Amino acid sequence: MRRSGGPAIEELAQEGDAESVKFSTPMKQHKDCNFSYAGLKTQVRLAIEARNINAEILISSATTQDRNSRADIAASFQRVAVLHLEEKCERAIEWAKIMEPSIKYLVVSGGVASNRYVRSQLEQVVKKKDLQLVCPPRHLCTDNGVMVAWTGIEHFCMGRFDPPPPADEPEDFMCDVRPRWPLGEECAEGKSEARSLRRARIHPSLTSLIQASLQQQ
């Protein structure tokens, strides 16, 4: 099986200079917890094109100069990508402490949690906030899609599901599909300045809906 991008970048980044390419941190102007790597990916593409790196040539067949250029880009990308994550997590912790001052842990899982650099940088974030970082063992940090699918299986086995609607059900009974459903409470405002969750509009999360359904049983 071909190695996925995350582990490949992490390994190659160890050979590079993380300060060699001056990528800008995404969404610096947005004081909220939203993520976007679209702009950073564009910066990486432009850096690759500027160095005339041929993506068709495998890293194992690259010249020393070409490999060094790739390593520098990988290291610089990883540094800024994780910095973006650090800033958003730090802001999320600040808001979470407003809602629940007694929180003690930041839990990080999924494929990104297998990255050692991510773990080390988030350790620094939680230390500043007097929290502890909790991560599963690296071999259990896999793609979130698999985790979400398994969660669905567990809910199905416990009977927490609705039967599919009949094919001829009236349109009035249909509902819109929400393409992105936050697992935690989502602050919908705060684009230009940080806002307290007490003042922001809150969308119901998957967690809160499950808790409500359990209370009704």
Domain boundaries, the chain: 5-140, 177-217
Checking if the pLDDT of 23 tops 50, the result is yes
Find the largest Cα–Cα distance for the chain. 65
Query: With contact defined as beta carbons under 8 Å apart, do 119 and 110 qualify?
Result: no
Q: Is the pTM value of this prediction over 0.75?
A: no
Question: Is 115 in a helix, a strand, or coil?
Answer: coil
Given a contact cutoff of 8 angstroms between Cβ atoms, the answer to whether 100 and 93 are in contact is no
Q: Categorize the per-residue pLDDT at 85 as very low, low, confident or very high, splitting at 50, 70 and 90.
A: very high
Confidence of residue 60 (pLDDT cuts 50, 70, 90): confident
Instruction: Please name the residues in contact with 20: beta carbons below 8 A apart, sequence gap of 6 or more.
Output: 72, 75, 76
Q: Which pLDDT tens digit goes with each residue over 148-187?
A: 888 899 999 998 888 776 777 666 666 666 766 666 555 4
* First vs last C-alpha separation in the chain: 44
* 106 within 8 A of 122, measured Cβ to Cβ: yes
The CATH superfamily of 5-140 is: ATPase, nucleotide binding domain (3.30.420.40)
Question: Cβ-count burial of 102 within 10 angstroms (0-12 exposed, 13-18 middle, 19+ buried)?
Answer: exposed
